[in-house]
Structure 1
Amino acid sequence: MSSNWLMRIPKTYPLAFGMVFSTFKTSFSDLLVQTTVEKRDEIDWRRNAAFASFGCFYLGGVQYLLYVPIFKRFFPTAGEFSSLTLKQKFNHKRGMKETAAQVGLDQFVHHPLMYFPVFYATKEIVTNPENPDLKRAIIDDYFKTNFKEDMLALWKIWIPSTVLNFTFMPLWGRIPWVASTSLIWTCILSMMRGGEAGLKDEVIGPGVSGVSDSLMGGTYRPRTCPVEMDSHLSHITVSASGMDKIGMVARMCKGVSDAGGNITMSKMTRLGNQFVMMMHVNYDHEKVRHLDLLESIRNNSEELVVKINKLQPRSTGLRQSSGQQMTFKVSCRGPDTPGFTAAITDVLAKHSVSIEMLDTNVVLESDGSRSFWLDIEGIERKMGLFSDEDVEALDKDLKAIKNKEGNPLSRVNLKVARKENTHTS
């Protein structure tokens, strides 16, 4: 009896059932990704609200109107065809043609021209309620940047699912089928596009959006420097390069370890036939002689060109008193084009932002194109230097690089936050 009661709900209230089921399903899918795939310490509820809103009003509401009353009006055999046996379906030529037409309209008209634009617009409105930029979200983020990748990912799941849905499911069961299949698809969409909506609530800047090309305010874990953290120890940098050979990293690390040194921060990579290393090493000068450490490193790196520098705490004039300090995180993405790094760093210098870390990379995309990635972390040169107006001016100058004719950067994010600064010098 209970199973009959459950079956009557979607039959009797198909629209309401679809909206409620799609809301919970979409929200659950994003929560699943955040907790198990991304392993976040805190749930991003604003991002989850974007997915839940999209699930309720579009997946449950709009798609019901499209798949049931509208498709039933334009394709009269839709309800009859789904109830036929498999043999009868193959003999029902009109039904097969109308099913193919429904699949074609859904996958090649509805999804690219309605589904994704509404998804990007919903995400923009929910994550940036004060100043949503729908044109950028739909035109720049979707059509110009993510269109091909989004559609290929969607078609792999939804073309087979839609064929089965329109062929075998009764009209009232179309939305429950879509919602069930969508559990997998929403997880994929959340992993692909959900991170772009990630934003915590501690807002500092004048505008808030986690979506693509926009100014973000919040908090993030700031970069720490062991030279300031462990002032009671001695510190050196070791940079080395040479012909790429198996075991060279192990020998270099062994040289540090054998003499009592400790590697904290390091960056090692192969460039062509060369392998390049840079590492920070600290040691207790009361237990380890500086010259013994240098000798051990060099003895284990005979085939490398090695340079060693001793480090001291920062003395560049940056005010390092206790209090809150403005921090900046800049992320840029776009086709590999010369000049972007120089342009971005020049803007930061003009606005008195001290760069703490800069990382660039060229990524080969699945379609064979090359994407340029740049990530920078910086701090204000003096605490209290930046007002909200100054942050807006910095954001505007960074966006001007993207919008300049001939610069195909697809994304320039500026995230601004304050962190407690307890270092003194």
Structure 2
Amino acid sequence: MVAAFRRVGAILRGSPVLTSMGVTGAKAFLADAMVQRIWEKREALDLKRSVVFGSFGCLYQGLFQYFAFNHVLEGAFPGVRPRVVLIKVALTNAILDPCFFFPSFYSLKEALAAQRLDAAVVMAALDEYHSNYMNDWLNSWAVWLPAHAITYGVIPIEWRIPWVAAVSFGYVCILSSTRGEVSRTIR
């Protein structure tokens, strides 16, 4: 078992960004597909919706969060001292998620539904986010405040994105069940 973790760790260190993007994209796609089939009991998979989640997982979590967690935050606040971990958890939950995660998620969701990306689509996305922000933040904090204490305080840097991907499988299920519909059309 230890040898397997070492091999995976070597892969993560060798191609961290590509591995991160592949793992998180597949995870998000599969989490949404599972919610659709098992929780919502849909006969057919809404592939467009799952692609939204998969694309978002790949680009946001796999790329943006990789650099934010492992380079920006770790560069500015290195280490695992309790005060440093608290700062990284606070910045992730109070700045990164509300200011980057949710606006990006809503914008991608709306752009794929409208099949275009322009100012009207982004404004519609931000309006929807404004309508939902408190519930979104509370759901996010319930998962990510404790999870990111572990992310920054315990998990080795090369394992952070796989750890976050594992935890976020459950979180994506919550997000998919509360914000998964993409049938709205922007005019």
Shorter-chain TM-score: which interval?
A: over 0.9
Query: Percent identity among equivalent residues?
Result: 31
Whether the 8 Å CA contact 2:110–2:124 is kept in 1: the answer is no
Which structure features the higher share of strand residues? 1
Which structure features the higher share of helix residues? 2
Aligned to 2:29: 27
Structure of higher RCO (CA pairs closer than 8 Å, 6+ residues apart): 2
Residue correspondence of structure 1 range 51-200 to structure 2 within 5 A: 51-76=53-78, 78=79, 81=80, 95-130=81-116, 133-138=121-126, 140-143=127-130, 145-194=131-180, 196-197=181-182
**How many Å separate the matches in 2 of 1:113 and 1:163?**
20
CA pair 28-103 structure 1, distance change in 2 beyond 3 A:
same
Q: Which runs of 5+ in 2 are unaligned?
A: none
| Structure 1 residue ranges, 4+ long, deviating more than 2 angstroms after superposition | 1-7
**How many Å separate the matches in 2 of 1:21 and 1:116?**
20
List per-residue Cα deviations over 1:115-143 (Å, max 9, x = no partner). Answer: 000000111112211465111111x1002
Amino acid at match of 1:69: H
TM-score w.r.t. the length of structure 2 is 0.92
CA pair 42-150 structure 1, distance change in 2 beyond 3 A:
same
Whether the 8 Å CA contact 1:50–1:127 is kept in 2: the answer is no
List per-residue Cα deviations over 1:137-190 (Å, max 9, x = no partner). Answer: 11x1002x1000100011111101001111001111111111010000000000
Give the number of aligned pairs.
Answer: 183
Which one has a bigger Cα radius of gyration?
A: 1
Deviation at 1:72, TM superposition (A): 2.0
Deviation at 1:2, TM superposition (A): 4.7
Aligned to 2:11: 9
List per-residue Cα deviations over 1:322-373 (Å, max 9, x = no partner). Answer: xxxxxxxxxxxxxxxxxxxxxxxxxxxxxxxxxxxxxxxxxxxxxxxxxxxx
Amino acid at match of 1:59: Q
Amino acid at match of 2:35: V
TM-score w.r.t. the length of structure 1 is 0.42
SS in 2 for 1:72: helix
